[in-house]
Amino acid sequence: MARKRERLDVIRDILKAVRENRKIKPTRLLYASNLSPQMFKEYINELTSKGFIKLDIDKKDKKMFCITPRGNEFLEEYKVIENFIENFGL
């Protein structure tokens, strides 16, 4: 049985999906994140409040998520953070 995704894994998956697409619609990101709408909303609120992603509105008035430099930095350091948490039992 696959292990349950930890919170940091979910954040990584969402950020990866946003980065790979450069700009992504909220509905597409919801599918890519594999979360329930309620959980998705919670994570998105968290990620925007932490400044990892931002919501842009394009010329056609469509909402699109894109990754911020801070979000990129998190993805680069994700392995280190994960290793640290597991090695120190945090």
Q: Does 83 bind another protein (CB under 8 A)?
A: yes
- Cβ-in-10-Å burial (0-12, 13-18, 19+) of 28 comes to middle
Q: Which is nearer to another protein, 20 or 77 (CB)?
A: 77
Q: How far apart are CA 42 and CA 45, in angstroms?
A: 5
Question: Within positions 21 to 50, which residues make up the interface with another protein, using CB under 8 A?
Answer: 42, 46, 49-50
Q: Does 55 bind another protein (CB under 8 A)?
A: no
Token digits of residue 10: 């979910």
Q: Which is nearer to another protein, 33 or 64 (CB)?
A: 33
